Structure formats: C-alpha cells, structure tokens
Amino acid sequence: MSTATNSIALPIPDWFPKKATGHGRRPWYQANPFIANLVGAPALARDGLLELGTKWAKAHNLSPARDDKKRVLLMGIDYADTFGHPDAELFVAGAMDDSYRFSTFLMKNLKVVTDTMLTFDSHFVPQIFHTPMWQWKTTKAHPDPFTAITVDNYQEFEPSAHAPYWIGKDRRYLEQYLAYYVNKLAEPRIFKINGEDRDRPRDPLILWPLHAQMGSQGFTLFPEVEEAVMFHQFARGGRMIGQVKGLDKLTEAYSPFGSEVTVDFNGDPVGRDSEKIIQMILTYDIIIIGGEAASHCVRAGIYDILRRVLAKNPALASKIYLLVDCMSPVPGYEKQAAEALQDFRDVGMHVVPSTLPIEQWPGAMQEALANAA
C-alpha cells in the first residue's frame, strides 16, 4: 500500500481495475470470515471495499468528509449497464469508458470530494415512453423504438390493448392525455443567457426501447462506479445520495430531479417537481457532474438546475463543473448535446476534462482546495 502523501491527487489503488471491465463483475464489499469458514471458501474472507477503504484512509491521512470546510458534491447521472454495452438495451457509444474516467477521477480526488450522488434510471414496462404503450391506428402494431410522437402526428396513435389496464385509466383518458402531453412538451422554454432569450423546448415524446427495467441487469451500476463510490464512503465517511428517477407512468423524467410534466389536464399529479432536491444540491460549494447521456438525461438535469440558478442567483452557475470526457450523447443527438454544453459555458459553468488536475481548474475550485491542503 502506498505511503501517506500531502498532494491533492492520490494514486489509484493496485486492486482497482486498469480499465472498464463491463457488466457481470461483482464488486466485493467486505470480508466475510464466517461464511468463508462455513462453506470452506477462504477467498470470502479477503478484504473488501470496507477494509480497503479503512486502510487507505489511514495510509493517506484522509480526514473525514464531515470536516470539509468547503463541501464538494460529485454527481454521476445514470451510469447504468443498460447504456454501456453493444448488446445492451439502449447502447450509448463511449458510456463504459466515460464511467471508468468518472470512477478514476473520484479515486484520485478522494481528498476533495465530500459527498457523491448517483441517479438511477428506473423503469417498468407500462410507461408513456415505451413502445408497448401505443399502437398505430392503421395497423394496430406497436411503433418501432425511437419513433417520435409530436403535435403533428399524435392523432396517428392510440393506446395499445393492454395500456388502459396497465395504467388504470380508460382509453378516452389516455387519448386526451396524449394530446395534452405532446403539446405541453412543445411549449416554449426560455432561458436568458448572455442577455438573450434562448428557447430550449423539451424533447418530443420519444418511444424508447425497453431499458433500465427495475431489478434487471440493465438497471445495475457500472462496477467501477459502484466500487469507487463505496470506497469513498469507507475512506472518508462521505454520504452517497441516491436518486431514483423514471418510475412515473405518465411522464418522462429525463432530468434526474423532476418530471417533464407534473400534472395532467385535470390538474391531478402525474410527476414530481424538482425544486426541493435542486435546492439541496445548490447548498454545496462545488458541484461536479458526469453521466449518461449528454444529449438527454445529463442535458435535461443541468437545464433543470440552470432554471433554478437563473431564478435564484445566476452567479451560482460558476460553482458547477461538467466533466466533458465523462459523458457521451445518444447516437444521432450530438447536436443537442453540443448546443447544451455551449449554453452551460455561456452562463458561467466550467466544462473540464476529468484528466485535468483539479489544481488547474478555473474558478471556485481553487478556494475549495483548502479542504485537502
């Protein structure tokens, strides 16, 4: 084990994978000598993340996260298996390597990161954005994945045979709701950036392939992300804030913090507002964000934060850092991701690579480094 150091960046422990390992690998949480003896499997008594993290803290004189004078939040949005592999349900090219860079960034910067937040894309079959919910009126077939339902074509679709029972609403309600929903998504959404009004409407209703099903392989975290975040908890006693998103049946939730639509045409709730959790996030002195996909959930989540920042104090944007090499767009949506990143730069957020030493980061991070000095 390495000896103690006063530098900001820590070495990567020898046990940590040298590259992204993909799905199917199970992190080892803690030594289990009782079971090891019971079943005659000595390997089960080996050190796990609990023991390794505790020893790492002693070897490197790591102070408890609770003592940080400047609080730094590292957020990983939807680093889920479902996005990470060519044979996964919704492959995002680059996601596996993005998640590995995010993980190694945390491992190197344990001294600086106070708490982590992970968001979990979480779905069931009967949801408004899944293909089995709808069918073409003419053929009665389910639409193909990536079909867009818009204000111009929604009348070509109808609820599938199972949809009313799944949702607990009659067909007439679902037909009315579809018309209402696509029109809500198309409403202007103005952000005042650099003195100009920029309209950034929500995406139309996209019918995604079934993905991130609760309890499935696709729902699970990339193993290196899971390991790094748990290791941080044991090495520094930091919190991991878990945010489950995407369970509401009648609205999308690209943003990890709230729903695209929160009430139906009767004013009854169908989704969740993001105000409370974003206010909590903004209490941190520094917020660092990576995740998948840059064109959708990351983009939507940061716009959600930006809306609150612009309403409260635009200067707060300067304490947000986006790890540009820890996020990738859904193929075909590169333009949307690039446009969003430019908006975020223009309001004062910092777009940085995870490989750039944080001592070289601009802005508020310099003051935050007093945590680890």
Domain borders along the chain are 68-123+211-371, 131-191
For residues 88-108, average pLDDT: 95
**What residue type is 93 in one-letter code?**
A
pTM: 0.95
Which pLDDT band, with edges at 50, 70 and 90, does 62 fall under?
very high
For residues 155-172, average pLDDT: 98
How many CB atoms lie under 10 A from the CB of residue 244?
A: 13
pLDDT digits (tens, 9 = 90+) for 275-331: 999 999 999 999 999 999 999 999 999 999 999 999 999 999 999 999 999 999 999
Fold exhibited by the domain 68-123+211-371: Rossmann fold (3.40.50)
pLDDT tops 50 at residue 29: yes
Q: What's the pLDDT at 372? A: 55
Give the chain's mean pLDDT.
94
pLDDT digits (tens, 9 = 90+) for 328-337: 999 999 999 9
d(CA 362, CA 348): 11
Q: What's the pLDDT at 4? A: 46
pLDDT tops 80 at residue 24: no
Residue 243 contacts residue 235 (beta carbons within 8 Å) = no
Beta-strand pair 205-207/147-149? antiparallel
C-alpha distance across the termini of the chain, in Å: 22
Q: What's the pLDDT at 2? A: 43
List alpha helices for 60-170, DSSP H: 95-108, 163-167
pLDDT digits (tens, 9 = 90+) for 111-128: 999 999 999 999 999 999
For residues 344-363, average pLDDT: 96
